[in-house]
Amino acid sequence: MGLSELFGRATSNQSDFPFKLSDAQWRERLTPEQYQVLRGHGTERAGSCALNYEKRAGTFSCAGCGQKLFKSGKKFESGTGWPSFDQPLEGAVETSEDHSFGMRRVEAHCANCGGHLGHVFPDGPPPTGLRYCINGVAMDFEPAGEAETRS
């Protein structure tokens, strides 16, 4: 799906998401930085998150609700200072138009809780040509095989 198709999709309403918490519950569940990004549509400082440098096989999930978002094989080095992916897991990430800061951008958010993840840009690698530029603080990482070793 190209960026023009992402712009054409309907904007989701925060009340439309399956996973819902009150503001107080979100503040209790998340660190202040996670809350600022996921609930306040903030952006972490470029290069500040260890997940930008994560190279192991595994799955990146939403730090707010645990929804699996991206497989590590879809991650690439964009040189931007934020984890970048060319494709999310099917149905895991939704998009909406973002007109903040006088720009027209495509916002990426968790399809389960609506948490702000980052933005989508049309400068990614083939085959999608998209770059999901994601705040690392908005995600958790689970290395491949870790789930199988837990009892």
Phi, psi of 125 (to 5 degrees): -80, 165
Delineate the domains of the chain, giving CATH numbers in brackets.
3-128 (2.170.150.20)
Is residue 110 annotated as a catalytic residue, yes or no?
no
Could you tell me the CA-to-CA distances from 80 to 52, 123, 140 in Å, in that order? Answer: 9, 12, 19
Instruction: Given the residues 49, 110, 113, 133, select the one marked as catalytic.
Output: 133
This prediction has a pTM of 0.86
Per-residue pLDDT of the chain (151 residues; tens, 9 = 90+): 555 555 444 444 455 899 999 999 999 999 999 999 999 999 999 999 999 999 999 999 999 999 999 999 999 999 999 999 999 999 999 998 866 666 677 999 999 999 999 999 999 999 999 999 999 999 999 999 865 444 3
